[in-house]
Chain A
Amino acid sequence: MSSSKNETENPAVDGSELIRFDKVTKRYGSNVVLDQLDFSVNSGKHITLIGPSGSGKTTILRALMTLVKPEEGTIKVSGQYLFHEEKDGKLVDAGESHIREVRKNIGMVFQQFNLFPNMKVLRNITEAPVHVLGLDKDEADERARELLELVGLTEHLDKYPSQLSGGQQQRVAIARALAMRPQILLLDEVTSALDPELVAGVLDLLRDIARSTDITMLCVTHEMGFARDISDDVLMFNEGKVIESGAPEKIFSEPEHERTREFLSAVL
């Protein structure tokens, strides 16, 4: 661990391997989205996934969140298989409760926020801690209020999501994901649906979170400046494979792969 992250309290953050994809393949019909994909992420790292659309970046996040199930290969999170269980030395498809248990380590923020419109802001944040983690109501409320303060929305806790702007909704969504105290936070193009003027605020918040917590982040984004700021590593995807990876300085200034150069010159 770098010493700059001095607020380290989580013993799980020791730089060891937290996520491992092993020969993961996902197809939609004849379209191969992830192609025998191997990669791993160490705990506490901030990883940005870049690449042309359709290259499989978002599918990786969705697979980690168990929203899509790969046809082949295995995914491990904190040493546990995500979609599989070991029985009598053999790997079998995992049951719903096993998947849910492993998944509790993971939080996700979506492009379209996906707040629950039937709950006010505070309850959006407390609902899962209360009913999934079993926190008591007061504790969950307190945690939610702290998070709302972090995202700067304390005065909106009694509003419905429909009464908030896109940027505010996305901040609530970030607070909601953090309330579960995940080890891993998945950010799926979280600013793509926002008005340009609201983007900076959300990115600043995420920079803050990246700096001040130990959460491992996987981030799909088109905001290259942001990627450069927060990333320990950048993975360049093309056609379901990682074609290049490395520190952001290296990837952005001297990419090795022709495809990466093309992509970067198109988006920068």
Chain B
Amino acid sequence: MMTSKFFFEWFLPGIWITIQVLVYSAVLAGVVSFVIGTLRTSRFWIVRFLAGTYFEIFRGMSALIMMFWMAFVVPLMLGWQFVPMFSGVLALGLTYGAYGSEIVRGALAAVPPAQREAGIALSFTRMQRLRRIELPQAWPEMVPPFNNLLIELMKGTALVSVITVADMTFAGNLVRLSKNESMPIYTLLLVLYFVLAFILTRGMRMLERKAKAGVGRAPEGRTILTRKLSPKGELDQARAGTAGAGGAG
């Protein structure tokens, strides 16, 4: 389906580009989520209004059209252009950040008001309460919806191929154009996106467990590698323990 030369020159670098676009736009979306989400809980109506406006606008805009706009309209308006990958990352980060801000806002709103009062009673400033009390408590609630969003974003990175960013979808399209073969390459792409999603989910699950342990809600130290000790295993360990103790005694 593709020559090894093509594979090494286009396809492997394409996977790497997809990962890069994913990482950059996830970081941008994360920053936007927290900044906009937090501002939307501000006590100043004007701040809430502006942050809310951002949210409404970017939630309602197509990331694909925004990419086109950044790649093709910006050069006409300004006389210079973004690097294509930058356009893609910007469009993805800003739109998915708008969705993410809703996750942050919702999770902050779910922190019991009593926690805010306890913070006031200890004379923390607003910023300190947010940073030390409210955000850390809201965090475990954010991780599962963020996992969803991250996977949406990962799949959304395929959009950058239309503005000539040579990600793995772009490489796949090249294969179709040059070899006139669709089935193998697109099947391979589907599998690859799925594998990426699966890896991301495993990672986010670990993060979720860690986040919950951080508020004393789940046992710590369970990872993907040491997920379950079978009852038998535990029994054996316990037995070994008592045997050892008995021997020492």
> A-side interface residues toward B, CB under 8 Å?
65-67, 96, 100, 103-104, 106-108, 110, 112, 114-118, 120, 127-128, 131-132, 159-163, 176-177, 180
- Contact status A128-B123, CB under 8 Å: yes
> B-side interface residues toward A, CB under 8 Å?
114-115, 117-118, 120-126, 128, 132-133, 136-137, 214-217
Of B123, B133, B216, which one neighbours A100 at CB under 8 angstroms?
B123
The 4 A-B pairs at the shortest CB distance, nearest first, are namely A160-B216, A128-B122, A114-B118, A162-B216
Nearest neighbor of A128 in chain B, beta-carbon distance: B122
Known contacts: A117-B137, A118-B137, A160-B215. The answer to whether A65 contacts B120 by CB under 8 A is yes
- Contact status A107-B121, CB under 8 Å: yes
User: Which residues of chain A have C-beta atoms less than 8 A from B133's C-beta?
Assistant: 116, 118
User: Which residues of chain A have C-beta atoms less than 8 A from B215's C-beta?
Assistant: 117-118, 160, 162
A144 to chain B, nearest CB (A): 13
- Contact status B124-A131, CB under 8 Å: yes
- Contact status A118-B136, CB under 8 Å: yes
Interchain CA distance A115-B114 in the complex, whole Å = 9
Q: Chain B at the A interface: mostly helix, strand, loop or mixed?
A: helix
Known contacts: A117-B216, A118-B215, A162-B216. The answer to whether A112 contacts B114 by CB under 8 A is yes
B112 to chain A, nearest CB (A): 8
Interchain CA distance A176-B122 in the complex, whole Å = 9
Interchain CA distance A161-B112 in the complex, whole Å = 15
A105 to chain B, nearest CB (A): 10
B129 to chain A, nearest CB (A): 10
- Contact status B124-A132, CB under 8 Å: yes
- Contact status A131-B128, CB under 8 Å: yes
Interchain CA distance A96-B122 in the complex, whole Å = 14
A266 to chain B, nearest CB (A): 29
A116-B115, A128-B124, A161-B216 given; name 15 further pairs at CB < 8 Å: A65-B117, A67-B120, A96-B125, A100-B125, A103-B123, A104-B123, A107-B122, A112-B114, A118-B137, A128-B122, A131-B124, A131-B132, A132-B123, A160-B215, A162-B217
User: Which residues of chain B have C-beta atoms less than 8 A from A112's C-beta?
Assistant: 114
Interchain CA distance A266-B132 in the complex, whole Å = 44
Interchain CA distance A207-B125 in the complex, whole Å = 32
Nearest neighbor of B125 in chain A, beta-carbon distance: A100
User: Which residues of chain B have C-beta atoms less than 8 A from A116's C-beta?
Assistant: 115, 118, 132-133, 137
Known contacts: A114-B115, A116-B133. The answer to whether A163 contacts B120 by CB under 8 A is no
Interchain CA distance A66-B122 in the complex, whole Å = 11
Nearest neighbor of A162 in chain B, beta-carbon distance: B216
Nearest neighbor of B114 in chain A, beta-carbon distance: A114
**14 CB-based A-B contacts, threshold 8 Å:** A65-B121, A110-B118, A110-B121, A112-B114, A114-B115, A114-B118, A117-B137, A127-B132, A159-B216, A162-B215, A162-B216, A163-B216, A177-B121, A180-B123
Residue among A66, A103, A108, A118 with the highest chain B CB neighbour number at 10 A: A118
Interchain CA distance A114-B128 in the complex, whole Å = 17
Interchain CA distance A100-B137 in the complex, whole Å = 23
User: Which residues of chain A have C-beta atoms less than 8 A from B124's C-beta?
Assistant: 128, 131-132
Interchain CA distance A180-B122 in the complex, whole Å = 8
B68 to chain A, nearest CB (A): 43
Residue among A65, A104, A117, A161 with the highest chain B CB neighbour number at 10 A: A117
